[in-house]
């Protein structure tokens, strides 16, 4: 999911306050992608389609999000079956302090109201693991996050690029703080590739530097050991994003914006993303929305690429149901 509106949030009733009455109940996804290549004689094509299907089910305990169920469909001897991947949440009062699943654990610490550090643990029985696989630390400019440092060992940088892209907890974290979870993952993978090429040794840190335009993040620069490796820039519409925030002290509360203490993105909705990984052609994604009143009920993300020998088209639509 490539948008900020795919996390867990409180609804925006009017500017500066959050209304807990509207809660996401179900999220559905569908996508199609077509790749074509010229083999020297003719064009060959490969198409993948996923019809609309339930991807997330949100379970609430009053005004706090208790867990998310992710249905996973698989086949055994030709018979289709569904198994739920479950992520549960633990709070200290109204602040999220931990998220758990069978193979992942996220531990959150704060400096007062401000998010200070997030430790991620991966592996079977993650509660028994004592050393974090990845650590995120946050720097602020006033109430807004200005930098996110991502630290892990050199071996983890080399091996965890694909894991970072697949991790539901990392997606949950990044889509709560940044305009797009997918873009943040790709920026970090770009830094990981640089680390691998340079033969990194010991603990390494990648950095995401954020530029704000009012209540929206307009630019993110990814660096590795102080060297810029990729950037992403965003354009927004003028509609209020009802999903600004997340469960970091916001779910279930009506809080004036000047008391939140956390500068999460974004006030408005992304309409265009341009990612530039140095030395490669920029990648562009477009976003379109449908609304029911002030609430988005679907968003479509699409991109395409073509040159003399390759063509690529991709479109993903996410649908939201509220309770």
Q: Are strands 43-61 and 104-111 parallel, antiparallel or unpaired?
A: unpaired
Contact 31, 298 (CB under 8 A): no
What tens digit of pLDDT does each residue of 113-159 get? 788 999 988 776 667 777 888 888 999 998 888 998 888 765 555 55
Widest distance between CA atoms in the chain = 65
Q: Are strands 295-306 and 203-213 parallel, antiparallel or unpaired?
A: unpaired
Residue from 121, 126, 124, 154 nearest 136 by CA? 121
DSSP H helical segments within the chain, as ranges?
Answer: 154-159, 161-166, 168-177, 181-197
* CATH architecture for residues 4-322: Beta Barrel (2.40)
For residue 203, the model assigns a pLDDT of: 64
Q: What is the DSSP letter of 282?
A: P
**pTM for the whole thing?**
0.75
Q: Name residue, tokens 């779910």.
A: 251
Q: What percent of the chain has pLDDT over 90?
A: 10
Structure-token pair, residue 33? 């992608």
What tens digit of pLDDT does each residue of 182-223 get? 666 667 667 666 666 666 555 667 888 999 988 888 998 988
Q: Are strands 104-111 and 114-122 parallel, antiparallel or unpaired?
A: antiparallel
- Is 50 a residue whose pLDDT tops 70? yes
Cα-only R_g, the chain: 20
**Confidence label for 54 from pLDDT (cuts 50, 70 and 90):** very high
Cis-peptide into 266, omega within 30 deg? yes
Q: Which of 103-112, 164-173, 243-252, 274-283 has the highest mean pLDDT?
A: 103-112
- Is 82 a residue whose pLDDT tops 90? no
CA–CA distances in Å: residue 121 to residues 19, 140, 311: 33, 25, 38
For residue 52, the model assigns a pLDDT of: 93
For residue 226, the model assigns a pLDDT of: 76
**Top-confidence residue, 128 or 244:** 128
């Amino acid at each position: 999911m490539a948008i900020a509106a795919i996390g867990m949030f409180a609804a925006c009733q009017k500017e500066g306050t959050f209304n807990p009455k509207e809660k996401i109940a179900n999220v559905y996804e569908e996508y199609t992608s077509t790749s074509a290549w010229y083999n020297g004689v003719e064009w060959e094509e490969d198409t993948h389609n996923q019809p609309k299907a339930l991807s997330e089910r949100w379970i609430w305990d009053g005004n706090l999000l208790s867990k998310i169920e992710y249905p996973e469909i698989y086949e055994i001897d030709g018979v289709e079956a569904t198994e739920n991947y479950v992520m549960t949440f633990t709070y200290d009062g109204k602040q999220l302090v931990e998220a758990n699943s069978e193979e992942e654990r996220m531990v959150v610490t704060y400096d007062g109201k401000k998010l200070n550090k997030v430790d991620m643990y991966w592996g079977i029985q993650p509660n028994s693991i004592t050393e974090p696989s990845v650590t995120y630390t946050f720097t602020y400019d006033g109430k807004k996050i200005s930098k996110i440092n991502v630290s892990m060992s050199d071996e983890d940088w080399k091996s965890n690029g694909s894991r970072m892209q697949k991790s539901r907890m990392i997606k949950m974290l990044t889509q709560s703080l940044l305009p797009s979870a997918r873009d943040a993952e790709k920026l970090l993978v770009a830094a990981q590739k640089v680390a691998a090429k340079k033969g990194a040794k010991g603990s390494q840190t990648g950095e995401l530097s954020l530029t704000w335009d009012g209540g929206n993040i307009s630019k993110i620069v990814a660096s590795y050991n102080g060297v810029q490796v990729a950037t992403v820039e965003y354009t927004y519409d003028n509609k209020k994003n009802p999903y600004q925030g997340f469960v970091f002290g916001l779910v279930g509360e009506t809080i004036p914006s000047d008391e939140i203490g956390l500068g999460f993105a974004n006030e408005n909705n992304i309409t265009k993303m341009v990612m530039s990984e140095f030395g490669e052609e920029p990648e562009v994604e477009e976003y379109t929305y449908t609304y029911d009143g002030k609430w988005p009920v679907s968003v479509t993300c699409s991109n395409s690429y073509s040159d003399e020998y390759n063509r690529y088209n991709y479109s993903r639509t996410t649908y939201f149901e509220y309770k």
